[in-house]
Structure 1
């Protein structure tokens, strides 16, 4: 299949496919007699795997072990230890991020509780911020 067909089947763009090829994720396409790139079902599978992994939160570079695993003939891109390690690493990064966000949220909840405990009244200083933000943004648990 030509590059446009592969792009259509995988839901991406020809530009992205050329980029994947330049990055070594998608092998150099075979060329037809007239110079068109020629892809097969294995290429479609690689592109679909790359897109699914990116949709799951992995970077393009993170997809390399999965692509290598598929190219080695495995049934799934995460049949190899290096791929599983990418999952573990990214989960640890996400967990760290969630922990930091949880601490930020707890700090904001405490600040809000302190402010509300003082029963803030009308203020002569008006920034217009409160009027521009929907009320649910000020709730403790939206």
Structure 2
């Protein structure tokens, strides 16, 4: 059976999502941060916009405290225009971090966001993120 361009794109993006989850779970910083474009603009739920340089700094701190993370996502919708793939996702993650060296804090975060990917030189990279909703419990 021959796959359509849409099926191929979805498979490629899904594979990157899987690699991203594995990279976070295993604290493989380089594998995780390389998913993002150098042109990244990331709009957090509080409205603050950060670039890849700031995301890199934040991720280093986050990884240093991270004990465990389990994540899953559901794609609500998507569109493809040439080398641009845009998806709306709901992501749910259960996180535990080290607090004050001895204690562990655990919570679940549910986030809805729009992710814009661009394919250059055969590689998909996230160029733009906008977090639309965020709930922590």
Query: TM-score band, normalised by the shorter chain?
Result: under 0.3
Name which one, 1 or 2, has greater alpha-carbon Rg. 1
Give me the TM-score of the superposition, normalised by structure 2: 0.27
Higher normalized strand content (fraction of residues) = 2
Give me the TM-score of the superposition, normalised by structure 1: 0.26
